[in-house]
Chains A and B, each alone.
Chain A
C-alpha cells in the first residue's frame, strides 16, 4: 500500500508525502490564452499555464468550471465534440497542436487519456491492448507480446490477469478495468497522460491502488490529473492549478507548486476552496 493510503483515507487531508518540485522545470506544454466554448457559449477562458515534464500537475476546482474541457483540448479530443470551439495556443514539444500540419492521430499516440468511467472495449483483455498497437502498425507477434507484458506489469495487473488474457475485459473489477485502460494508453508509449478523475468511479481500495500506480508513473510520464479529492492532489501532485467559475465562465485562478498553493495560497478563493469553505 502507498504511504498516502495509510495516512489518510479518500477524503481526509493526510500529511504531504510529495509535492516538491519534481526536477528542474522543463516545459512540456505551454498553454497560452486557452478558451473553450460550446455552441458559442464560453465555458473556459483565458487559461495560460506551463505543464512541466515528468511532473504531476493536478487540476482542482468545483464541478462545471471547465477542467474536463481543458483536458480534452490538450489532445484535441474536443474536435469530436459537436459545437465545441477551442481558441488560443497549446505548444506541445515545440509545436502548436492546432497547426494544420499536426496529425491528430499521431498527437494522440503521444498523449494518452484516461477517463472517469473505465472504458475498456468489449473485447478480451489481450485484444484491448492489441487493438491500438495494430492500429499504429505494430504487427510483430513477439513484440506485441512483450509490450503487453510490460504495460500490464507497469500497472500491476500482470499477476492478476496473466491466466485470463483471453477473457472479457468487462469481467474485470472497476479498479482493474481502470488500470487496464491506463495500460492501454501506455502501450503506445506516450509521453503524457491526461487523467480525468481516474479514481472517482472506484471504491477506496481500488482508488488507492490506482493512485499509488500514478505516483510510480510520475517521472517517466508527464501527468495531468483532474481530481476532486484534495487530499489526493496534495499527496501526489508537484504542481496544482485551481479553476473557479465566475459568471458561468471557468477561469484559472491560481497555478503553482502544489505545496505553496495548498499551504499559503495567493488568492482568497483558493484559500477558501482548499480549506473546504467553498466549492
Chain B
C-alpha cells in the first residue's frame, strides 16, 4: 500500500516536472516559430528589435562565449588537474581552495557583474566590451568547471595511477592517455553546465559587455548577448514580445546544438582514446 502510494507520488512529481518543461518549451516554440526565418537570423535589428533580425546579437553572443571559453577551458582544466592530481587531499590550502570555489559557484551573477564592471571595465580600462563580458563570464564559469572536472578525475580508480607509476609511465602521459579521457564525460557535463549558465546570463553582461545592438567590429566593441536582448525586448520594448520569443527560440536551439556537439566531441575523443567494455 505504502509502496503504491510512493510509486504514485514519484510518477506524479515526474509528470509535473515534465509537463512544466513541456509547457515552457512549447510556449516558446509556438510563440517564436512565426518569427523564425532566414532573414531573422541574418538581418540587423530595426526599431529597437521589434523588426529586423538578430544577426549582430548572435555574433556578439558567440564572441562573448568564445572569449570566455578560451579562458575557461585551459585555466579550468589546469586548476582541476592541479587540485585532483598534484595536491594532497587533506592539506589545508587545498581544502580552503575547494571551499572558496564552492562558494563562488553559488554566488549570484549580479555580484560577478559588479566585479566585472569594476575590475575589467574600470580598473583594466576595457570599457563596455565583448572582452569585459567574456572575462566576467569566465570568472563565473571557472568554479563550476573546476569542481566538476576535479570530481571527475577523483572518481577515476587509483589502480591505474599505481599501474602507470609502476611501469615508469609519466604522470603527463597517464593523464592524457587514461585519466582525462576516462573523466571526459564528467568534464563535458561540467563544461555544458557552465556554458548553460553563461548563455542564460543577463545581469553580469549588462554591466560589462553592454547592450549596443550593432555589429561588433572587434572584441573591444560593446555587444549585446541574446539573453540581454530577450530581457530588453520583453521589459523595455513595447510590442517586442514576438521578437523576444523568436530570440528565445534561437537561444534554445543554440544551446541544444552546443550540447549535442560537445557530447559528440567528447564521445569521439573517448572512443579514440579509451576502450571501455563493449
Bound complex: CA A253 to CA B107 (Å) = 60
Q: Which of B62-70, B116-124, B192-200, B269-277 contacts A (4 or more CB under 8 A)?
A: B269-277
- With contacts A80-B162, A115-B162, A117-B159 taken as known, whether A135 is within 8 angstroms of B277 at the C-beta atoms is no
Q: Which of B141-149, B168-176, B247-255 contacts A (4 or more CB under 8 A)?
A: B168-176
Is B178 interfacial (CB 8 A cutoff)?
A: yes
Q: Which residue of B lies closest to A131 (CB)?
A: B177
Cβ–Cβ contact B168 & A119, under 8 A: no
Q: Which of A181-189, A209-217, A228-236 contacts B (4 or more CB under 8 A)?
A: A181-189
Cβ–Cβ contact B274 & A122, under 8 A: yes
Is A127 interfacial (CB 8 A cutoff)?
A: yes
Cβ–Cβ contact A119 & B277, under 8 A: no
Bound complex: CA A120 to CA B169 (Å) = 14
Is A40 interfacial (CB 8 A cutoff)?
A: no
Is B245 interfacial (CB 8 A cutoff)?
A: no
- With contacts A77-B165, A77-B166, A109-B167 taken as known, whether A123 is within 8 angstroms of B274 at the C-beta atoms is yes
Cβ–Cβ contact B275 & A184, under 8 A: no
Is A112 interfacial (CB 8 A cutoff)?
A: yes
Is A108 interfacial (CB 8 A cutoff)?
A: yes
Bound complex: CA A184 to CA B170 (Å) = 16
Is B11 interfacial (CB 8 A cutoff)?
A: no
Bound complex: CA A82 to CA B88 (Å) = 7
Is A37 interfacial (CB 8 A cutoff)?
A: no
Bound complex: CA A117 to CA B278 (Å) = 21
Smallest CB separation, A69 vs chain B (Å) = 14
User: For window 193-212 of chain A, which residues contact chain B by CB distance below 8 Å?
Assistant: none
Using Cβ atoms and an 8 Å threshold, which residues of chain A touch B161? Answer: 80
Is A139 interfacial (CB 8 A cutoff)?
A: no
User: For window 147-194 of chain B, which residues contact chain A by CB distance below 8 Å?
Assistant: 157, 159-170, 173, 177-178, 182
Bound complex: CA A124 to CA B166 (Å) = 19
- With contacts A170-B276, A171-B277 taken as known, whether A181 is within 8 angstroms of B163 at the C-beta atoms is yes
Is A121 interfacial (CB 8 A cutoff)?
A: yes
**Interface size class of chain A, counting residues whose CB lies under 8 Å from the partner chain:** 35 or more
Using Cβ atoms and an 8 Å threshold, which residues of chain A touch B278? Answer: 167-168, 171
Bound complex: CA A139 to CA B276 (Å) = 25
Using Cβ atoms and an 8 Å threshold, which residues of chain B touch A121? Answer: 160, 163-164, 177-178
Using Cβ atoms and an 8 Å threshold, which residues of chain A touch B273? Answer: 123
Is A140 interfacial (CB 8 A cutoff)?
A: no
Using Cβ atoms and an 8 Å threshold, which residues of chain A touch B168? Answer: 104-109, 132, 135-136, 188
Cβ–Cβ contact B169 & A135, under 8 A: yes
Cβ–Cβ contact A167 & B275, under 8 A: yes
Q: Which residue of B lies closest to A103 (CB)?
A: B168
Cβ–Cβ contact B159 & A168, under 8 A: no
Bound complex: CA A189 to CA B26 (Å) = 64
Cβ–Cβ contact A80 & B177, under 8 A: no
Q: Which residue of A lies closest to B157 (CB)?
A: A119
Using Cβ atoms and an 8 Å threshold, which residues of chain A touch B157? Answer: 119
- With contacts A121-B178, A185-B167 taken as known, whether A169 is within 8 angstroms of B162 at the C-beta atoms is no
Is A113 interfacial (CB 8 A cutoff)?
A: yes
Cβ–Cβ contact B178 & A123, under 8 A: yes
Q: Which residue of B lies closest to A114 (CB)?
A: B166
Which of these, B169, B177, B277, contacts A168 with CB under 8 Å? B277
User: For window 219-278 of chain B, which residues contact chain A by CB distance below 8 Å?
Assistant: 273-278
Using Cβ atoms and an 8 Å threshold, which residues of chain B touch A117? Answer: 159
Is A176 interfacial (CB 8 A cutoff)?
A: no
Using Cβ atoms and an 8 Å threshold, which residues of chain B touch A167? Answer: 275, 278
Bound complex: CA A96 to CA B148 (Å) = 43
Smallest CB separation, B90 vs chain A (Å) = 8
Cβ–Cβ contact B166 & A75, under 8 A: yes
Q: Which one of B168, B178, B274 has the highest number of Cβ atoms from chain A below 10 Å of its Cβ?
A: B168
Q: Which residues does A use to contact B, with CB under 8 Å?
A: 75, 77, 80, 82, 104-109, 112-113, 115, 117, 119-124, 127, 131-132, 135-136, 166-171, 181, 184-185, 188
A sample of 21 cross-chain residue pairs with beta-carbon separation below 8 angstroms, ordered by A number, consists of: A80-B162, A80-B165, A105-B170, A108-B167, A115-B166, A119-B159, A119-B160, A120-B163, A121-B160, A121-B177, A122-B182, A123-B274, A123-B275, A131-B169, A135-B170, A168-B275, A170-B276, A170-B277, A171-B278, A184-B163, A185-B167
Other A-B pairs, 15, CB within 8 Å; known A132-B167, A167-B275: A75-B166, A106-B168, A115-B166, A121-B163, A122-B275, A123-B177, A123-B273, A123-B274, A132-B168, A132-B169, A135-B173, A136-B168, A168-B275, A184-B167, A185-B167
| 4 smallest beta-carbon distances between A and B, as pairs | A105-B168, A119-B159, A108-B168, A113-B166
